[in-house]
Amino acid sequence: MITLHHVPGSRSMRVLWLLEEMGLEYALRHWSLTDGGLRGPEFRALSPAGRIPAIEIDGRTIFESGAIIEYLTETRPEAGLAPSPGEPTRADFLEWVHFAETQANILQNLNIHHIFLRPVEARSPVLTRLDTKRLEVTMRALEAHLDGREYLIGPFSGADCMLGFNIDAMFRFVRPEPFPNISAYRQRVQSRPAYRRAVAKGGGDSIYSQDFYELPDV
Ligand SMILES: N[C@@H](CCC(=O)N[C@@H](CS)C(=O)NCC(=O)O)C(=O)O
C-alpha cells in the first residue's frame, strides 16, 4: 500500500493529484504545518528537512515532490504521464518539473511575508515586493510558454501536476488579467476529474484567508 503524508493545500497536493491521475490506490496520513509535528522524530525519519510531502512506496520512503513525481511516472510508465529517459521531450518534462519548484519557493516566501511571519512588524515590505517581482518573471515565462499549448509538454503529464498546483497561489499575489494563457490553463487542469477527486479526498487550501494579498507600501 502507498501512504502519502499530506497537508491540505500544500505541495503534497501535487502527488495526490498524480496518484489520482494514475488510478493508484493509496492511504493519506494528515499532518499540520503549524502544530510542530513536522519537526518531530517520527516525521523527520520520513523527510529529513521536516517538509511535506513524503511518500511510502515500494518498500521505501521518498521525500521532495519533484522526486516523487519523477519516480512515480518512471516506475509506472503504463500510465503514460511522462516521456521516458531518452525520448525527445524528456528534457522538457524535467525542465517544467523543476521550474515548478523554483516558482513554489518564491510562493513560499510570499506566504511567509504575507501570512506566517510574526510579529507583523518583522515583515519586510522590500522583500515582499522583490519576491512579487520574481514571481511575475516566472509567470511571464509560463504565459509565453503556454501560448498555443494545452499542457506544458504536449500531452498532460506529471509536470502539469507539479506546476498546476502553483496556480491558485500565484493569483493570490499577482492579478490574473495580464495572464490569459495561465488563466485558461488553470481552468483546463482544474476541471480534470482526477484534480477534483484529489481536492475532494485531500481537502482544499488550508493556508489562505484572503483572495488577494496587496503589496505593502514601502
Ligand atoms: N522542495 C520541497 C519543498 C517541500 C516544502 O517546503 N513543503 C512545505 C509545504 S508546501 C513544508 O513542508 N513546509 C513546512 C516548513 O517549512 O516548515 C518539495 O518540493 O517537496
Residues 8 and 63 in one domain: yes
- Write out pLDDT tens, residues 164-181: 999 999 999 999 999 999
pLDDT for 217: 83
In a domain, 206, yes or no: no
Residues 117 and 181 in one domain: yes
Looking at 26, 47, 79, the residue that finishes a domain is 79
Distance, first Cα to last Cα, the chain? 51
Q: Phi then psi for 56, rounded to 5 degrees?
A: -100, 120
What number is the average pLDDT over the span 191-216? 95
Decide: helix, strand or coil at residue 28.
strand
Q: Which residue type, as a one-letter code, is found at position 146?
A: L
Instruction: State what percent of residues in the chain have pLDDT above 70.
Output: 100
In a domain, 71, yes or no: yes
What number is the average pLDDT over the span 75-101? 98
- Write out pLDDT tens, residues 53-70: 999 999 999 999 999 999
Tell me, in angstroms, the distance from the centre of ligand 1 to residue 38's CA.
Answer: 10
Label residue 5 by pLDDT band (50, 70, 90).
very high
Tell me, in angstroms, the distance from the centre of ligand 1 to residue 53's CA.
Answer: 7
Label residue 33 by pLDDT band (50, 70, 90).
very high
What number is the average pLDDT over the span 123-127? 96
Residue with cell 516521456: 83
Label residue 162 by pLDDT band (50, 70, 90).
very high
**CA 135 – CA 213 distance, rounded (Å):** 14
CATH of the domain at 187: 1.20.1050.10
In a domain, 218, yes or no: no
Tell me, in angstroms, the distance from the centre of ligand 1 to residue 148's CA.
Answer: 32
pLDDT(218) > 80: no
Ligand 1 site residues (CB inside 6 A) read: 10-11, 33, 38, 50-53, 64-66, 101
Residues 75 and 97 in one domain: no
How many domains does the chain contain in total? 2
pLDDT for 206: 83
Q: What range defines the domain where residue 188 resides?
A: 90-192
Q: Which of 34, 52, 102, 111 to mutate to test the pocket of ligand 1 (most atoms within 8 A of CB)?
A: 52
